[in-house]
């Protein structure tokens, strides 16, 4: 079972990983340990692989820092559900292979601390007796995610998605 970590709107990348915790500033530290270190210290301490992040609008706004996504990847976040994502964060998450969904129904239903089972291959999220359908991922994004990220995609196909 995965735990749901619910957040509000406009969670900026300074909250996900403050700039002071960048790998540039702490080259010997694991940036995964800095995930939400100030905004949600409980997440930094206790989040488990497979846990799910749920947020309202504009998740990941602000800086282009990919290490915010890298920190979540290192924590093996199972998926991120939000009402919407900030542009650069969305792109960075796809590139690093973290599944992310604009999913109003799921965002509304899930509460912080819920225990869920995420079944991406079958497009389902299960909470107790309730089964939620995962929204369709746009083809361009799906191609990148199923390769395991943009680098794996480009290495496998020798081109960008959608490129002849």
151 near other proteins, judged by CB under 8 A:
yes
CA 140/CA 144 separation, integer angstroms: 7
CA 133/CA 103 separation, integer angstroms: 10
Q: Which of residues 34-53 bind other proteins (CB under 8 A)?
A: 38-39
**H or E, element range at 91:** helix 87-96
45: CB partners within 8 A, 6+ apart: none
The residue (of 113 and 164) whose beta carbon lies closer to other proteins is 164
86 near other proteins, judged by CB under 8 A:
yes
Contacting residue, 66, 74, 120, 147, with other proteins by CB under 8 A? 66
Least gap, CB of 56 to other proteins (angstroms)? 11
- Strands 124-127 and 115-119 turn out to be antiparallel
128 near other proteins, judged by CB under 8 A:
no
67 near other proteins, judged by CB under 8 A:
yes
């Amino acid at each position: 079972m995965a735990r749901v970590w619910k957040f509000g709107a406009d969670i900026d990348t300074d909250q996900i990983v403050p700039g002071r915790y960048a790998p540039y500033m702490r080259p010997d530290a694991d940036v995964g340990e800095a995930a939400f270190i100030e905004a949600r210290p409980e997440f930094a301490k206790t989040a488990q692989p497979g846990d799910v992040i749920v947020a309202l609008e504009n998740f990941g706004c602000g800086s282009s820092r990919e290490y915010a996504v890298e920190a979540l990847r290192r924590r093996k976040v199972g998926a991120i559900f939000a009402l919407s994502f900030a542009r650069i964060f969305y792109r960075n998450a796809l590139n690093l292979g973290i599944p992310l969904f604009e999913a109003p129904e799921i965002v509304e239903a899930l509460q912080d601390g819920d225990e869920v089972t995420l079944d991406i291959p079958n497009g389902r999220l299960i909470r107790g007796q309730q089964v939620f359908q995962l929204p369709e991922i746009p083809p361009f994004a799906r191609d990148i995610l199923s390769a395991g990220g943009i680098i794996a995609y480009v290495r496998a196909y020798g081109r960008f998605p959608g490129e002849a």
